[in-house]
Amino acid sequence: MDTLGIEAFLSIVRHGSLTDAASSLFISQSTLSHRLAQLEREVGMNLIDRGRGLRTLSLTSSGQEFLVLARRWEALVQETNQIRTRTKHLTLSIGAADSIQTYVLPAIYKELSKCSKQIEIRIRTQQSTELYQLLERGEIDIAFANLEQPMPNMLVKKFLAEQMIVISKGKLPVANNTLMDHELDTSNQLFFEWNTSFRAWYDRWIGERDYPTIRLDAASLIETFMDRPEKWAIVPMSLARRYEKTGEFFMYHLESPPPERVCYQIQPRNPRSSAVESLRILDSCIHAVMH
CATH code for the domain of 274: 3.40.190.10
Query: Does 224 share its domain with 184?
Result: yes
Query: Does 148 share its domain with 20?
Result: no
Question: What's this model's pTM, rounded to 2 decimal places?
Answer: 0.68
Query: Does 132 share its domain with 251?
Result: no
Query: Does 178 share its domain with 249?
Result: yes
* Owning domain of residue 75: 3-84
Question: pLDDT by residue (tens digit) across 142-162?
Answer: 999 999 998 899 999 999 999
Question: pLDDT by residue (tens digit) across 216-230?
Answer: 988 889 989 999 999
Query: Does 214 share its domain with 285?
Result: no
Query: Does 52 share its domain with 98?
Result: no
Mean per-residue pLDDT over the chain, rounded:
89
The answer to whether residue 278 scores a pLDDT higher than 70 is yes
In the structure, what pLDDT confidence band is assigned to residue 51 with cuts at 50, 70 and 90?
low
Query: Does 171 share its domain with 248?
Result: yes
The answer to whether residue 55 scores a pLDDT higher than 70 is no
Query: Does 31 share its domain with 103?
Result: no
**Domain final residue pick, 58, 84, 110:** 84
Query: Does 238 share its domain with 207?
Result: yes
Tell the burial category of 236 from Cβ atoms under 10 Å away from its Cβ (0-12, 13-18, 19+). buried
Q: How many domains does the chain have?
A: 3
Rounded Cα distance, 154 and 131, in Å:
12
Lowest model confidence (mean pLDDT) among 4-8, 81-85, 265-269: 81-85
- Mean pLDDT in residue range 40-49: 90
Estimate to the nearest angstrom the gap between the alpha carbon of 95 and the chain centroid: 7
Q: What pLDDT score was predicted for residue 54?
A: 46
Q: What pLDDT score was predicted for residue 134?
A: 94
Q: What pLDDT score was predicted for residue 52?
A: 56
